[in-house]
Structures are given as C-alpha cells and as structure tokens.
Amino acid sequence: MSEKEWAETLKRLREEHKETVARSQALLKEQQAKRKAIRKALEEGPRTVPEVADLTGFASHDVMWYVMAMKKFGLIEELEMDGEYYRYQLTQEKAK
C-alpha cells in the first residue's frame, strides 16, 4: 500500500468512526471527572462509600465501582469498618 493510499484509508476510517470516537472520548472525560471527585472527597479524610456518594452526588453503586477499581490499582486502601461499611482513604504514596 502506498503512502497516499494509506493516508486515504486512515482518513476514511476516521470519518466512518467519528461518532464512536466522540462517544468514547466523552465517556473517558466523564470517568476522569468522577475519579477526580472521589479523590477530592477522600483527600479530606477516610470515608465510607455512602459518605463519598453524598459528597459527590453520585449513586452509591457508581462510587463502589470506582472505589473497587481505585483499590485494585493501589490508589486507595480499605480501613476499618464503620458500622456496615468500610472506610477508604487515599494511599499514602498516592496522596502526596
């Protein structure tokens, strides 16, 4: 495939998938905003999932999904139980 053919193929593919790329970029931006809001809520101190949900305005099940993902990647850690819920905090190395 020549360079010109390659460039035309890429241009065509970009045009064909423009809507999919735009949706993906919007979803990524929304996810980043939610992670940032959850981090901000946890910067103030350890919190339970319902407390984070109240502070951020997100549904508890959404907060739980993000908390579990952030825990998996070492961004937050699970602490003691507070009633029926665990408290979570930013990990010391990530909080800096």
For 17-31, write each residue's pLDDT tens digit: 999 989 999 999 999
How confident is the model at residue 63, as a pLDDT? 97
pTM: 0.77
For 50-91, write each residue's pLDDT tens digit: 999 999 999 999 999 999 999 999 999 999 999 999 999 999
Residue 12 CA from chain centroid, whole number: 31
Domain boundaries, the chain: 3-95
CATH class of 3-95: mainly alpha
